[in-house]
Structure 1
Amino acid sequence: MDTDRRLSVRVLRRLFHSAVPGYLALGFGLASLVLVFGFASASMYGVDHGINLIAYWHVPLAIVGGLALTVTFVGCVLYLVTSTRFWEQLAHASGELGFIFATLTLVTGSAWGRIIWNTWWDWSDIRLVTFLFVWFIYAGYLIIYSGAGDGGRVSRLASVYGVVGFITVPISYASTRLWTAQLHAPSIGNPDAEANITASVLFVSLLAIFFLYVYLLGNRVRLHELTSRLDEMKDRTRTKTHKPTGGD
């Protein structure tokens, strides 16, 4: 088991040091722009308006944001089990990106809803309310982690919070099927869905956002590792500087 975990760390570190995710993010990102503005349907929910094109990024941001928060959950669990710093750093880096993607999901959704539903926000919609709750939960995770510093106790507290708080993520994503949604009717597997999204364009945009996430995650984890090395060097230098000399 320990060997498998060490192998997983090595594989992930090799991925994070690779330039491939960045090139894929750039390639699929450009393809997404061309397809969205050149071929995608701008007619949804009975409304023909250019704002509908935002759906091709709103939906992938929501999906990849949920994936990022799932990685945070897994990283928190592995850190609590193994006390390996890499998993803590991975969890925090992915939590930061998940929070950013969740924020962009709320912003793009509000802009889209203002035209389609004639409202920026509707407190009666179960998806909106539960997703906002997820946003607050992970804002709390980042705040707790920011106070961790080099303290293992606070790091473990943040990880426990990340594990427990994750329950809000699947609840939010399943909310439109568990309860009656005011605005967000289920679209996947629902033949009566009014959102006429061009699936192929949506898939390309999803790949673009996914590879962007992997690229940014790798950069953030490497920055974590660099910061840790610098802190260790400072500690060693400080120890040598204050080391008492003989004969005093």
Structure 2
Amino acid sequence: MSRVVKWGALVSGVASFALVFGSASDVMYGVSHGGNLLAYWHIALAWVAASALGTTFVGSALYLRYRGAFWSRLAHSAGELGFLLVTLTLLFGSFWGKVIWNSYWEWTDVRLVTFLVVWFIYAGYLVVHAGTDGGSGDRYAAVYGVLGFITVPISYVSTRLWTPTFHETTLGNPDVSANIDPTTLLVSLLAASLLYLYLLGLRIQLHELEDDLAARQQRR
């Protein structure tokens, strides 16, 4: 299965690059610029980031219920990757925003501000987890992983809850003005998803090796 995911990520990643630079239009919101092509990876990374942080939520909840070491490893591994994906989403979005808005950052935009809150929340999650030593420490990290997730759906529906300054609602909005090619976006989303799954499996395996090494050292 790991081979399927690895090769699937490679093939779909190459296909994403080919579509983005080969057939996708660089005109969005009435602006023609090569930087608009970042939108395909910016959007894909944002959705996969939400999936990763959702995995942290599920893993944390299951750890609190069953206390299995696997659930703690799953939650932390997904949290690390989710934080990385949120960081990349913000970076790609900033460069794209410079093209569209002529500004790397706008504090008046509700989506940007709430997504930055998500970044800080999960930076805190990694700090809390780094300070754990098993037992009650893992429970604190799991509780944090469950409660912190509330910021994720709030950020994603923020453009519906409050009036957006720049980000417009895309799903279910027939008047959306972004010129996004659906095929290119879906292939990019598939590539990002498969890469995330492959890295998640590797990180969980690394967690298992770290725990095994720590147990051996304790026995010695």
Same fold (TM over 0.5): yes
Gaps of 5+ in 2: none
Structure showing greater radius of gyration is 1
1:68 maps to a residue whose letter is A
Q: Which residue of 1 aligns with 2:145?
A: 162
Matched, 1:180 2:163: yes
Identity of aligned residues (%): 58
Q: CA deviation at 1:41?
A: 1.3
Structure 1 residue ranges (4+ consecutive) displaced by more than 4 angstroms after TM superposition: none
Q: CA deviation at 1:190?
A: 1.1
Q: Which residue of 2 aligns with 1:244?
A: none
> Deviation per CA, 1:136-187, whole angstroms, max 9, x where unpaired?
00000000000113x3111100110110111000000000111110000011
2:121 maps to a residue whose letter is I
Q: Distance in 2 between matches of 1:142 and 1:234?
A: 24
Q: CA deviation at 1:188?
A: 1.6
Aligned residue among 107, 110, 113 for 1:123: 107
Aligned residue among 60, 78, 89 for 2:44: 60
Q: Which residue of 2 aligns with 1:218?
A: 201
Q: Which residue of 1 aligns with 2:26?
A: 42
Q: CA deviation at 1:194?
A: 1.1
Q: CA deviation at 1:123?
A: 0.7
Q: Distance in 2 between matches of 1:120 and 1:205?
A: 23
Instruction: Give 1:10-159 correspondences, 5 Å limit.
Output: 15=1, 18-149=2-133, 151-159=134-142
Q: Distance in 1 between matches of 2:115 and 2:103?
A: 17
Matched, 1:171 2:154: yes
Q: Distance in 2 between matches of 1:19 and 1:115?
A: 38
Q: Distance in 2 between matches of 1:229 and 1:168?
A: 34
CA RMSD of aligned residues (A): 0.7
Q: Distance in 1 between matches of 2:163 and 2:135?
A: 43
Q: CA deviation at 1:192?
A: 1.1
Q: CA deviation at 1:109?
A: 0.4
Q: Distance in 2 between matches of 1:164 and 1:110?
A: 28
1:30 maps to a residue whose letter is V
Q: Distance in 1 between matches of 2:3 and 2:80?
A: 21
2:206 maps to a residue whose letter is L
Aligned partner of residue 19 in structure 1, secondary structure: helix
Number of residue pairs the alignment of both structures matches? 220
Give the TM-score taking structure 2 as reference length. Answer: 0.99
Q: Which residue of 2 aligns with 1:7?
A: none
Q: CA deviation at 1:20?
A: 1.4
Q: CA deviation at 1:22?
A: 0.8
Q: CA deviation at 1:92?
A: 0.2
Q: Distance in 1 between matches of 2:178 and 2:172?
A: 12
1:171 maps to a residue whose letter is I
2:11 maps to a residue whose letter is G
Give the TM-score taking structure 1 as reference length. Answer: 0.88
Matched, 1:236 2:219: yes
Q: Distance in 1 between matches of 2:58 and 2:115?
A: 20
